[in-house]
């Protein structure tokens, strides 16, 4: 004899996310068209999950139950499967994010070079703590892990663009300009855009800034190479005078 046991209604997935639980019809239609374009780039639809998460993050400034369920529906996954991926990566936000996500690296080298002092100064200056947003919705402040820019420590990132060799004073000036709507220029890379625009670019849509990139390798990055050449050092071999 087979016995069926009711486990009650299916729980909402995922209950720990905030924000809207369902998209309006016009938003859903627009997102579906974009998702179709993204998914077509991959031989297996599941491979499109990461860019689709950026797509819905561009819509809501974070991941919401509606966004997670949208990704699940497009790819034939469960909400739990989507959430398991989304919560693994720090670039997917669980709370609404300001127009500019200001990340201060406080890993070892940046911290030694002043990253902790920069973060403390910005908390006091903005009146917010880690992962909180200013009342005007402009700035979200966040500790960030190493961004492989140790040669320019301490580093502040705004929407993942680099601002190198920062100090508490320069960081305060930076966020003041962002809040005032002034143009700020990253140390290298591409001109700054908003968090939502950045998320859409990361989803794989055209980046209109491509022709404005500041390319080239900085002097700090090449310091080791210069020292090696000055001392006649070659990788995997002896110096010429020792042969």
Cα 164-198-68 angle, rounded to 5 deg: 125
Q: Which CATH architecture has domain 25-86?
A: Orthogonal Bundle (1.10)
Pairing of strands 100-105, 139-144: parallel
Per-domain residue ranges of the chain: 25-86, 100-186
- What would the two tokens of residue 79 be? 């909400």
Identify the CA nearest to 61 among candidates 30, 34, 38, 95: 95
CA distance 35 to 33: 5
CA distance 202 to 50: 9
Identify the CA nearest to 161 among candidates 174, 179, 176, 172: 174
Low-confidence winner among 61-75, 88-102, 108-122, 196-210 (lowest mean pLDDT): 196-210
Higher pLDDT, 219 or 36: 36
For residue range 61-83, list pLDDT tens digits in order: 999 999 999 999 999 999 999 99
- What would the two tokens of residue 123 be? 């908390």
pTM over 0.75: yes
Higher pLDDT, 203 or 237: 203
Pick the CATH number of 100-186 from 3.40.50.1820, 3.40.50.300, 1.10.150.110, 3.40.30.10: 3.40.30.10
CB 129 within 8 A of CB 123: yes
For residue range 140-192, list pLDDT tens digits in order: 999 998 888 899 999 999 999 999 999 999 999 999 999 999 999 999 878 89
Do the domains 100-186 and 25-86 match in fold? no
């Amino acid at each position: 004899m087979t016995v069926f046991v009711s486990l009650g209604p299916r729980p909402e997935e995922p209950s720990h996310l905030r924000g809207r639980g369902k998209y309006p019809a016009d938003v859903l239609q627009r997102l579906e068209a974009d998702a179709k374009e993204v998914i077509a780039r991959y031989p297996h639809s599941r491979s499109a999950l990461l860019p689709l998460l950026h797509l819905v993050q561009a819509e809501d400034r974070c991941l919401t139950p509606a966004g997670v369920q949208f990704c699940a529906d497009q790819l034939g996954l469960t909400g739990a499967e989507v959430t398991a991926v989304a919560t693994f990566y720090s670039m997917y936000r669980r709370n609404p994010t300001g127009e500019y996500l200001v990340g201060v690296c406080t890993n070892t080298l940046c911290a030694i070079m002043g990253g902790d002092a920069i973060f403390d100064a910005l908390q006091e200056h903005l009146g917010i703590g880690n992962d909180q947003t200013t009342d005007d919705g402009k700035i979200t402040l966040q500790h960030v892990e190493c961004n492989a820019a140790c040669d320019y420590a301490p580093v502040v990132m705004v929407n993942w663009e680099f601002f190198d060799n920062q100090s508490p004073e320069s960081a305060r000036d930076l966020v003041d300009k962002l809040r005032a709507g002034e143009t700020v220029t990253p140390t290298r890379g591409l001109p700054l855009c908003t968090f939502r625009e950045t998320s859409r670019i990361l989803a794989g849509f055209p980046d209109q800034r491509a022709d404005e990139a500041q390319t080239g390798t900085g002097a700090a990055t090449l310091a080791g190479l210069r020292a090696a050449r000055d001392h006649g050092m070659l990788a995997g071999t002896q110096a010429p005078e020792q042969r």
